[in-house]
Structures are given as C-alpha cells and as structure tokens.
Amino acid sequence: MRIAGIDPGYHRCGWAVLEITPRGGLLHGSGTIVSDAGEDMARRLHSIAAGIDQLISLWQPDVMAVEELFFVKNVKTGIGVAQARGVILQRAAAAGIAVAEYPPSMIKKQLTGSGNADKKQVEYMVRRMFELPEDNQLDDELDAISVAVCQAMRSGIPEAMQ
C-alpha cells in the first residue's frame, strides 16, 4: 500500500509518500509544495492543485491521508487553509484516490501515545522512525510524514513500523 500524507496549507503544503511493505514502512519522499506569496489566492490554490496532481502522477498513492483543520487564532489564515484542503480533497477525488482525514490529536496519539503531545515530541518520533537528519525538513514536511504514519498505523500495518 502506498500512502500520501498531506499537511495542508496555502503557502506551504507538506507532502510525504510512504510505502507499506511486509517489513514495515519505507519513506519514498517528502517535501513541500510552495505557492508564491505575491500571487492572489486563486493562483496560489492553482499551484497547490498542480503540485498535488504532480504528486499523484509520480507516486500513484492508494490512499491520501490529510490533516484536518483545527482551531486557528487567525480567521483569514484558517479560511486559506480550508480552501487549500478543499483543493487537495478535490484533486484526490478526481484521481479516484481514497481519502482519510485525521485531526491533529489523533496523529499525535498514534505517533507518541498522547493526543496532547507537542510538536517537538512528534518531530522526534518521525525523525527516529526514518533516521532523518536533525535540520533538513520544514515543519510542514515533518507533519506530512506524521500524517502518513498515522494512516499506516490506523490501517493495521506490520509491527516493524511501530
């Protein structure tokens, strides 16, 4: 099974592709889709859609796991992220890919055992699972990896992953 994990955003959208094998999980790739802050929202959303289409075409995931929107302090930011999530969900649906959505607390619980874990604890677990260097990834990328791992764990993957 191939899982695409997505941390939605309209400026930086994190992505990760995780392959589940009989021996555990293999992280094929991860990164961020970046839209130009100088563009209007329609163009930024188009950039996100194009990046998701490219990810789907290149990696052909079986399922796309997407982090749900949580409470945000800045309403304008929350609306932008919600719009980006809509684009991401639509592109997955258009490609016939199953979508799973997880709230941040579920992702944290799957990776650390606590739904109240802080970002550093989740980052530590992700880096430990995949032996990632300490400073090469953006938060959005690490969050996308954690979303993919959550989907893998919720799907009953081999114990080697846990």
Catalytic sites, residue numbers: 7, 67, 140
In 10 A of CB 113, how many CB atoms? 10
Q: Which residue has the tokens 């992280």?
A: 27
Distance (Å) of CA 140 to CA 96, 144, 153: 25, 6, 20
Encoded tokens for 136: 């090469």
Encoded tokens for 109: 């619980």
d(CA 57, CA 149): 21
Nearest partner of 126 among 95, 98, 152, 87, judged by Cα: 152
Q: How many residues does the chain have?
A: 162
